[in-house]
Every structure is written in structure tokens, then in C-alpha cells.
Amino acid sequence: MLKILTSAVLILSILLFPPATLAFVSQDALPGDSLYPVKRKLEDAVLLFASITPSTKAWFAVAYSGRRYKETASLINKGKNSDAILTVKELVFQTDIAAEEIKKIGNSNQRASLASNLKQTIEGYSKGLEESKKQVGIQVALAKDNNLTDGEETFDEIDNAASPSPSSSAKVTASPRASPTLKATNTPSPTPATTGGGTQSDAQDLQDAIDDARADLEGIQDDLDQIGDLPNPEDVSSDSSLIDSLLIDLGNIDINGLDSTLNSTLNKYNSLFL
Amino acid sequence: MNKTLLLLPLILALFIFPNIVFAQTAAEINKLRSTLSTTEQSKLRNCLSLESQMKTDLSNLMVLTGTMAVNLETIYTKTESYYRNTLTTQNKTLPGYDNTSSSISQNFNTIRESINRSREASNKISCTSREAKNYFQEYRTNMGLAVSLLKQSKEELTQLLLKLKDLETLNP
């Protein structure tokens, strides 16, 4: 019996070793890394399992928005401006999805709590992005003024003086019994260490993308303001308030925002094709 | 001897597989080089480096559109249920309700179809495909239709709810 059990455990360990290793190794992967698609697939899988309740789904969506922020920060730190442009847009997408998921939560307390936490987190993102935009501008100006041909040496010095790792900027904490909360800390900005990985036009595009993202995030924050006040559809006591709450829900669906995101995204990729 | 025999296929696979991949990639690149101009090659390089990111963006757009459609449909279902089960039982009816309701319902079907067509088109998009631009255009057209129908449905639902709000205050 013991032999069978030992064999079963051994087989299970061998079978689970590759996915577990992939999950571990890919957790810090960034867009452009070979393991990044693995990380995203694992996220999708987790989200699929988390779809059992709206609150866990919303919680994971919020956590993934934090991941996108960390990735943006890391990419800007590494000077991968063109990748950062796309990831900053993904950050907005994911945050928007998180807000939409929060709207679906039935429990009004939980919904309000998650909405308020996400709002604070977005504020952190916005500040961090603003700071990084300034830093990108400074690096571009420095590179221009000094007419740098070999930026690596100079930017290494800047890197040494860089602010703390951006990975501490958005922390997701969960206690086993209480509802999960997402805390925005002081949000050290993703300070770019170098512009060596991208051109000046990339840097300019990144600054523009950051501006757009901040405006979109502000829009999501406004939506979240209303989410906290939304009545729970199951708690609606009279039909009169049902119509009011449906009108509020309708007002929260930002289709114009979706339209402009759709157009800007498609316009960006349109020129790529032959 | 046995161990060597067991390792032989592995060693062969390790050496042969990369060579096959390399040879195929090189052949593909050569084929492309001969047919594309320098500008096209540069565009292709850009496209290939962004392909995965682009597909993720396109997929995110579909998820977001789908989520909004589901939210709108939930509101529509609640409205429909309130009208049929509450207002009409109080002999309160709205002229033209059935037409508006059926138009909104039809929109949701078209939105779903458009998103599905967009998904099919986006799956076919590949930088190395000659048809990529057409598929991209197909994606754009279908998503544009879905979003414009979402807008229209939202507007119609808002107007409908406002009329129902007036209706419920009337005495039967």
C-alpha cells in the first residue's frame, strides 16, 4: 500500500513539476520575454477557476491590473519604451475590466469596499505614471543635450540613484477570512533608468500614451465613485427604485470610452500591415 | 549499452529538431526577403515584434465589448421582466414598447455575432499572411458595428426606462 502511495506521489510530482516550474519562473516575465505568454495563459486559467463567484473574479481582475502596472514600471525602468506603450494601454484595459467585474458583485458592502480600494490603487498608478512621464522627459532632454552616443555608462549612474523597486508600488493582500483588499502604498514611480532601449520618438509616444492612460484611469475612477453608491439589485425594495437603479447602471456603462479606445488601438496597429 | 540506446533518440532529437526549425525559419525568411521590398521588410519586422501584443489588445477589446454587452443585456432583461410582470398586470402599457424591445433584443444578437466574427478575423491575423490587412479590416468593421449597436441599445434602453418611469407614476 505504501509502495503504491509512494509511486503515486512520485508520478504526481513528476507530472506537476513542469507546470509548477513554469508558473514560478514566468511570474516576473515581461512583455517580450519568451515566458510572458505562459504567464498570461496561467492568468487566464486562474481567472477561469475564479469565475465561480463574481467577487473572486473581480478580486483577481484587480490583482491583474496591479500586475500590468508592475510590468509597465519594469519596462520603463529597463528603457523598453515601445513595449511600455502597449503595456500601459493594457493596464487601462485590465483596470476597466476590473471595474466592470466589481459592478457585478451582488454584496453591496463588498462591492463598495473593492471599488474604494481600486480607486485608491488607480490614484497610485496615476501618480506613478505622472512621475515616470517626467522622468522619461528628463532622460530624453539629457540624452539630447549631452548628445550621448553611448548612454549605457551615464544611465548606469542614474540607475544607481533610482528610486526603490517599482515592484513594491501596488500590493495585493488577502487575509483568509476577510474580503481581499488591494492597497496602494506610497507608489514609488517607475523611474526610467535608460532610454537606450528606445528612440526619442518612442519616448514621446510613451509620454503621450501615459497621458491617455491617466485620462482613461480618471474616467474609471469616476465610474468607481458611482459604483460605491449603487444599490444592490437584490436589495431593491420597490419597483420605482428598480428603474432608478437600472438608469444608474446604464449610466455607468461607458461605451464612448470603449469606442475611443477601440479606435486609438486599431489606428495604432493599422500602419503595421503591408 | 542499454542506457546509450535509450539516450540515442534523445540526443538525435536534440540535434535534429533545432536544425529542422532553423532550416525552416531560414527558408521562410529567404522566401519573404525575395518578395518584399525594404520598407515592407521593416514593416514586417515591426509587425512581428508586436504581433503577440497586438493580439492581446484585440482580445482585450473583445472582452471589454462582451462585458458591456452582457451588462446592457442584464439591464434589458430586468426592464423586460418589470414591464411584463409588474406594469402590464396593473394595466399600464406603453405604446410601441414591443417594437423597441424587439429592436434592442435583435441588437444583442447582432452584437454577439459581430464579436464572434471579430474573433474569427483576429485569429486569422498574422504578420506573415498576405490577407492580414483584410482580416484586420474585418475585425475593425465588426467591432465598429458591435460598439455602434451598443451605443444605440444604451440610448434606446435609457429612453425606454424614462418612459416606463413616467408610466408607473400614472394611475391605471
Could you tell me if B67 lies within 8 Å of chain A, comparing CB atoms?
yes
Contact assignment for B133 to A274 by CB distance below 8 Å: yes
Could you tell me if B63 lies within 8 Å of chain A, comparing CB atoms?
yes
Q: Is the pLDDT of residue A97 over 50?
A: yes
Best of A246, A252, A254, A263 to disrupt the B interface by mutation (most B CBs within 10 Å)? A246
Lowest mean pLDDT among A183-197, A248-262, B74-88: A183-197
Q: Tell me, what's the pLDDT at A230?
A: 52
Nearest CA in chain A to B126: A273
Q: Which residues of B touch A242 (CB under 8 A)?
A: 78, 82
Q: Tell me, what's the pLDDT at A143?
A: 66
DSSP states along chain A: -HHHHHHHHHHHHHHHHHHHHHHHHHTT--TTSTTHHHHHHHHHHHHHHHTTSHHHHHHHHHHHHHHHHHHHHHHHHTT-HHHHHHHHHHHHHHHHHHHHHHHT-S-HHHHHHHHHHHHHHHHHHHHHHHHHHHHHHHHHHHHHHTT-S-HHHHHHHHHHTPPSPGGGSEEEE--SSSPPEEEE-S--------STTS-HHHHHHHHHHHHHHHHHHHHHHHHHHHHHHPPPGGG--SHHHHHHHHHHHHHT--HHHHHHHHHHHHHHHHTT--
Q: Is the pLDDT of residue B33 over 90?
A: no
Q: Is the pLDDT of residue B10 over 50?
A: yes
Q: Tell me, what's the pLDDT at A240?
A: 58
Q: Tell me, what's the pLDDT at A169?
A: 37
Q: Tell me, what's the pLDDT at B164?
A: 93
pLDDT, mean over chain A: 72
Q: Is the pLDDT of residue A153 over 50?
A: no
Q: Tell me, what's the pLDDT at A233?
A: 46
Q: Which residues of A touch B60 (CB under 8 A)?
A: 90, 93-94, 97
| Each residue's pLDDT tens digit, B59-109 | 999 999 999 999 999 999 999 999 999 899 989 999 999 999 999 999 999
User: Residue written as cell 444599490?
Assistant: A231
Looking at the partner chain, which of A86, A100, A262 has a beta carbon nearest the beta carbon of B71?
A100
Q: Is the pLDDT of residue A246 over 80?
A: yes
Lowest mean pLDDT among A98-112, A196-210, A211-225: A196-210
Q: Regarding predicted confidence, which is higher, B138 or B4?
A: B138
Contact assignment for A93 to B127 by CB distance below 8 Å: no
Confidence of residue A191 (pLDDT cuts 50, 70, 90): very low
| Cβ neighbours for B100, distance < 8 A, ≥ 6 positions apart | B156, B159, B160
Q: Tell me, what's the pLDDT at A185?
A: 36
Answering whether pTM is above 0.80, one says no
